[in-house]
Amino acid sequence: MRRFVRPILMVPVFVAGITAALPAMAQTVNLRLGEDPESLYNVQTNSLTANGVINYVLERLVYIDQSGTPQPWLSSGWTVSDDQTQITFTLREGLTFTDGTPFDPAAVVAHFNTVLDPAVASPQLATQGPLTSVEATGPMTVVFTYSEPFAPAFNALSGVGAGINSPTAVAAAGSDYARMPVGTGAFIVEQWIPGTSITLVRNDDFHEQFRSDIQNPGPAHVERIVLNVITEEGVAQAALETGELSAAALQADAIAQFVDNPDFQTIINKSSGNLTFLEFNQQTAPFDDARVRMAIGHAIDRDAAVMAAWDGYAQAAFGPLSAAIPGYDQAVVDELGTPYDPEKALALFAEAGWTDSDGDGILDKDGAAASFTILSYAGFTSIDRTLQVIQANLADIGVPVDLQTSDWGAFYPSLLEDGWDMDLMRWTWDDADVLNQIYAGDGHRDKLTPNADIDNILNRCSTTMEPAARLSCVSDAQRALLENMTAVPILTNWEVVAVQSNISGYGFDHAGYLLATDIKVE
Amino acid sequence: MNLDANPAPAALAAYDDPGIVAGPPRGGFRAMLRRLWRHRSGKIGGGLVLLIIFCAIFAPWIAPYDPLKLAMLDRLQPPSLAHPFGTDELGRDLLSRVIYGTRYMILVSVVSTGIAATGGIFLGLLAAAGGRWTDLLVMRLVDIMLAFPYILLLLAVIAILGPSLITALVAVGIAAMPGFARLVRGETLSVRESEYVEAMRVLGAGTLRITFRTILPNIASPLIIYASYTMPLAVLSAAALSFLGLGAQPPLPEWGAMLVQSRSFLRTSTWVVAAPGFAIFFAIIGLNLLGNALRDVLDPKART
Amino acid sequence: MTAYIARRLAMTIPVLFGILFVTFLMKALIPTDAVLALYSGTVSEDKAAEAIAAIRAKYDLDKPWYHQFVLYVGDVARGDLGESVRTRQPVIDEIGYRYVNTMILTLASLVVALIVGLSTGIASAYWKGTWIDEVAMGIGLLGISMPAFFFGLILIFFFSVQLRWLPVMNAGDWKGLILPALTLGLIEAAPISRITRASMIEVLSQDYVKAIRAKGLPESHVVFRHALPNALLSILTILGLLIGGLLGGAFIIEVVFGWRGIGELAVKAIGWRDFTITQAIILVSATTYVMINLVIDILYAWADPRIKLG
């Protein structure tokens, strides 16, 4: 008897020793926010920064997996009505929000009714397209009704804007809800120090993981994530070097010093859905002429822009959709894209009536010399450098252009006015519906000449729910847009993130959001 | 860098005590130049300023390359025989860009100070020469401009006019007007009381004649000294605006914009930052030294 | 004296009114507004037209600028600084703690500027013409010749990354205060140094100083009892403008170092076209400047009764 006492007594000490060591492993991860979000209530905002934060807290009915296919998340499945205007979701049972409120049809209906309410004026409203009503039709079923078939519906419902908030928390907190949202997600907002940081803690009662793109079957490995507001790129880089940041997305210039550094891993996310492109004010000559637009397309050395603006961490784009978006058709792009060919550019300009008739090195037509402006937004070296490459390229073929940048808040609305020629724009999206947003009708800035063919195709794409048929339609849309050269695509950049080498599991989903529950600190 | 274009030389405390005695330079204009020539740090400052002016005038002849020509194959080259200052992130020769940048340097300092001085002189004379109510009104306007946060005033003007190098200069010029206005008012008041103005009035000269023949030349000294303080500040303010993404637009080789656009290369390709950085630095040191020398030479009280 | 104070106070009211007036006038001239900026890029304006109109009406942005001005003055008089268009939170919450931070930075910088400025000024005056004088004046020159943001990045790199003495990310505590206060203080030390030097040289060359020295009083007595107070008076003269310069300089320094003050917010707010925040910061900033100048003028008048009170 006595012989076994000592080993038995050892066991509790041994166990105590291990449990004492455990908390040290579930540590804190420090990430970076480029700016303080204006609000964490997804009804009030649609900005990338806010969405990135809200993504930790709220979950949606569906998610898009790595192959681009919608999958059930908080729903367990759905059916689409015969006329394609209604989607009925069956919700998963037994889930609760972190404040104890049960997750049920009432919660889903409450969220979408708020979004749909015109008095609320939510920026999310337009994302949901022709959605007209959301109703509970059973103990665990909800029906979404649209005024016409909406092909991007699942994509819209997978976005952070469709994240379900706890209705009791929304009602109780009133205008303070924007400071502390409550959802069903793997993290809870613990504290928001305005302008400085947002601290998220692990939801220990997190339900089982329903997503197939996440390895971790349960609650997050890390205990705490602190999102630090750092506006200056140089400071973010420095913080990464000193270890104050666990990971951060890098600008092209900074990548070099982290790539070969054994203390860091660099993750390059090539599935980013984004496009930097040159748009035209088609209501002023000569940009109403497709040949001029195509000529400009041939005049631009995209590889130079890729090197200058992104240090090579980007790819030249020749089509209106970026390569990672389902529906991108490489064959169409190869056939109709405008590779760098200054000779061809000059030939097309000549066809349109622009030649250097007086030998001064500048193209002219009807006695007027070429001189145009490109507008864009300030504050991003990648945009600045892309602009300068474009300017130099155009100057080489005899088309002098002036550059003019201003704050985004001034630039974007100013495009609705007259008096501009071209602008350099960039979108970030993960669905082919972006083509509708930008090019349907007279375009997102009211400056395109409406083209019936393009509009028909775009409308078809948007109302074709059947996936294969929709993809084929999207291919047609790319063809039509390239034949018209409505805008000149320039490049798609890849997101590059440097992560401390003691961190594993750092990865992104199809939409580019962080899969935070997989992160482990060693 | 003092981000306030209305600096405070010891002289300009309250409205009524200008400090620097208005009047012609001691011994006349030639004597002043001679003193300037002998002033040691003034020579260095003057030399730097002359170098800048020389580069600005003869830029097309002395710059080895076209400052705007991209050469992606040669980007980020360290200093070498072919490129003494190296190349920037788009392959442009930094030496050429620095040389052409002197033109913008002069544009920035002269135009914004010119705007400030013109507006300031007008306001200051108006306040000093007009009646009591004009004085009160104009000086309250000046107070308002001074109390307005400097950066916000600049940003607001640029928001109204749209961002470009010219609007940045206009903004900096407007923001620097109050200082000039106060100075001119103070100096004018003191000159007005002086004896020879009395004499001229007795002899029947009109106000306008008095103003242009007598007052302006006599406040020239303090004005020049004040301008020598505000010019460097104008350059730094323009650089700060470039920092915020406003001001000179790419690809202009304006030093402030060059510095800001290349700051991510501070550690990896230091020369891209060093070239415009030191250019600004030496230009401002030159202006400051020249300003000090002018002050020593023109201000009878400040002989140290 | 009381009459002087009353008169000066009376003059500040129209100035503050004037500032608000100019602010609203500028707002009228600026082409876009916060509401459009909020929606920019996420949804087209015609789809959100109703929503935009509703928000505009809520914040009185659909009224002419002079009407908005009058409404705002009324609100301010009642202590209501309004709600940020961007975050829909009360402006007071957003600028309250930031105002305190900016004041802390300004004060800390002033302390640095006074310490560095006075000591270098005294040293250069006392050892006038020697290498100490040259070096001190040279450092002063360097301080005012370097763009702040450049200097700031170099300091961050040096002290935070290379030496690891200070954290890179600014948490708003005393450690985060050191670099910005040093930068701003060193820059503002230059004029203080020069004035101190000039003033001390003037005093030290007076005859009565020779007399005191002849009596055998120690040098420290001469410097600190006689010369220094004179220098301090000269500095008091420009203190108002100095503090104005500090307040102005703080704005950019805050952006460079990430110090959460009203300057950092103001710069961002103009970019967002969030006018309620911008208006409030202009008002608060201008009031502070005007009040500080008032206090200094009163102090000066009390200290030196020879000054004409006009």
Q: How many helices (H) and strands (E) does chain A have?
A: 16, 23
Q: What is the pTM of this model?
A: 0.82
Q: Which of A195, A232, A409 sits opposite C272 (nearest CB)?
A: A409
Paired tokens of A477: 């849309």
Rounded distance, CA A379 to CA C267, Å?
A: 13
| pLDDT at site A9 | 42
Residue range A301-320: mean pLDDT, rounded: 92
| pLDDT at site B200 | 65
**A345: pLDDT confidence band, cut at 50, 70 and 90?**
very high
Query: Please, are residues C300 and C232 in contact by the beta-carbon 8 Å criterion?
Result: no
| pLDDT at site A5 | 40
Q: Which of C22, C191, C242 sits opposite B148 (nearest CB)?
A: C22
pLDDT over 70 at C271, yes or no:
yes
| pLDDT at site C297 | 79
- State the CB neighbour count (10 A cutoff) for residue A217: 9
Say if the Cβ atoms of A308 and B265 lie within 8 Å: no
Burial class for A171, CB neighbours closer than 10 Å (0-12, 13-18, 19+): exposed
Among the residue ranges A39-43, A316-320, C79-83, C103-107, the one predicted with the least confidence is: C79-83
Q: Each residue of A9-33: pLDDT tens digit?
A: 444 444 444 444 444 445 899 999 9
* Torsional sign, CA B72, B75, B80, B84: positive
| pLDDT at site C138 | 81
Say if the Cβ atoms of C160 and A416 lie within 8 Å: no
Q: Which of A234, A251, A304 sits opposite B266 (nearest CB)?
A: A234
Q: Which of A348, A366, A270, A352 is nearest to A310 (CA)?
A: A270
Residue type, C155: L
State whether residue B211 is helix, strand or coil: helix
Q: Each residue of B55-84: pLDDT tens digit?
A: 999 989 998 888 888 887 788 888 888 889
| pLDDT at site C86 | 80
Paired tokens of B238: 């323009």
Rounded distance, CA A265 to CA A180, Å?
A: 33
Instruction: Give the DSSP letter string of A350-396.
Output: HHTT-B-TTSSSS-EETTEEP-EEEEEESS-HHHHHHHHHHHHHHHH
Residues of A with Cβ-Cβ distance to C93 under 8 angstroms: 194
| pLDDT at site B205 | 62
Q: Each residue of A429-464: pLDDT tens digit?
A: 888 988 988 898 888 888 888 889 999 999 999 888
Residue range A400-409: mean pLDDT, rounded: 84
| pLDDT at site A147 | 92
Summary mean pLDDT of chain B: 79
Q: Which of C37, C258, C272 sits opposite A231 (nearest CB)?
A: C258
Among the residue ranges B210-219, C36-45, C132-141, C181-190, the one predicted with the least confidence is: C36-45
Predicted complex ipTM exceeds 0.90: no
Residues of A with Cβ-Cβ distance to C157 under 8 angstroms: 234, 238
Query: What's CA C162's distance to the chain center, in Å?
Result: 30
| pLDDT at site A202 | 94
Residues of A with Cβ-Cβ distance to C55 under 8 angstroms: 121
Instruction: Give the neighbours of chain B: at least 3 Cβ pairs within 8 Å.
Output: A, C
Partnered with residue A267 across adjacent β-strands are: A497
Q: Which of C18, C191, C263 sits opposite B151 (nearest CB)?
A: C263
Residues of B with Cβ-Cβ distance to C248 under 8 angstroms: 2-4, 149-151
Rounded distance, CA A48 to CA C205, Å?
A: 67
Query: Please, are residues A190 and A199 in contact by the beta-carbon 8 Å criterion?
Result: yes
Instruction: Give the DSSP letter string of C222-268.
Output: IIIIIIHHHHHHHHHHHHHHHHHHHHHHHHHHHHHHT--SHHHHHHH
Summary mean pLDDT of chain A: 88
| pLDDT at site A16 | 43
Say if the Cβ atoms of B89 and A385 lie within 8 Å: yes
Rounded distance, CA C157 to CA C152, Å?
A: 9
| pLDDT at site B300 | 55
- Asked if A388 has any chain B CB less than 8 Å from its own CB, the reply is yes
The residue that leads in pLDDT, B268 or B176, is B176
**B304: pLDDT confidence band, cut at 50, 70 and 90?**
very low
Instruction: Give the neighbours of chain C: at least 3 Cβ pairs within 8 Å.
Output: A, B
| pLDDT at site C37 | 67
Say if the Cβ atoms of A404 and B249 lie within 8 Å: yes
Partnered with residue A143 across adjacent β-strands are: A88, A135
Partnered with residue A247 across adjacent β-strands are: A499
**B197: pLDDT confidence band, cut at 50, 70 and 90?**
low
Say if the Cβ atoms of B2 and C290 lie within 8 Å: no
- Ramachandran angles phi, psi of B162, nearest 5°: 90, 145
pLDDT over 50 at B290, yes or no:
yes
Residue range C130-158: mean pLDDT, rounded: 79
Say if the Cβ atoms of C44 and A121 lie within 8 Å: no
**B190: pLDDT confidence band, cut at 50, 70 and 90?**
confident
Among the residue ranges A168-177, B99-108, B259-268, the one predicted with the least confidence is: B259-268
Instruction: Give the DSSP letter string of A199-210.
Output: EEEE-TT-----
Rounded distance, CA A250 to CA A235, Å?
A: 11
Rounded distance, CA A174 to CA A176, Å?
A: 5
Please, which residues have CB within 8 angstroms of residue A243's CB and are 6 or more apart in sequence?
A500
Q: Which of B8, B155, B281 sits opposite C241 (nearest CB)?
A: B8
Rounded (10°) angle between helices C174-204 and C91-126 = 40
- Asked if A396 has any chain B CB less than 8 Å from its own CB, the reply is no
Q: How many helices (H) and strands (E) does chain B have?
A: 11, 0
Partnered with residue A375 across adjacent β-strands are: A404, A423
Q: Each residue of C158-199: pLDDT tens digit?
A: 887 777 788 777 777 888 899 889 888 888 888 888 888 888
Partnered with residue A428 across adjacent β-strands are: A274
| pLDDT at site B28 | 64
What is the distance in angstroms between the Cα of B274 and the nearest Cα belonging to chain C? 10
Residue range A179-206: mean pLDDT, rounded: 92
Please, which residues have CB within 8 angstroms of residue C182's CB and are 6 or more apart in sequence?
C112, C155
Q: Each residue of A457-516: pLDDT tens digit?
A: 999 998 888 888 999 999 999 999 999 999 999 999 998 999 999 999 998 988 888 999
Residues of B with Cβ-Cβ distance to A237 under 8 angstroms: 264
| pLDDT at site A74 | 94
Among the residue ranges A336-350, B99-113, C140-154, the one predicted with the least confidence is: C140-154
What is the distance in angstroms between the Cα of C155 and the nearest Cα belonging to chain A? 11
**A3: pLDDT confidence band, cut at 50, 70 and 90?**
very low
Query: Please, are residues C76 and C13 in contact by the beta-carbon 8 Å criterion?
Result: no
| pLDDT at site A390 | 94
Alpha helices of A92-162 — where are they, by DSSP H? 105-116, 153-158
Q: Which of B215, B169, B40, B188 is nearest to B127 (CA)?
A: B188
Quote the radius of gyration of chain A (alpha carbons, Å).
Answer: 26
| pLDDT at site B19 | 43
Paired tokens of A402: 């002036």
| pLDDT at site B101 | 92
What is the distance in angstroms between the Cα of B81 and the nearest Cα belonging to chain C? 28
The single residue listed with the structure tokens 């509401």 is C35
Percent of chain B residues past pLDDT 90, beyond the cut: 13
* Torsional sign, CA B214, B216, B219, B220: negative
pLDDT over 50 at A242, yes or no:
yes
| pLDDT at site A13 | 43
Say if the Cβ atoms of A406 and B267 lie within 8 Å: no
In the sheet that A141-146 helps form, which strands lie side by side, from edge to edge? A75-80, A86-91, A141-146, A131-138
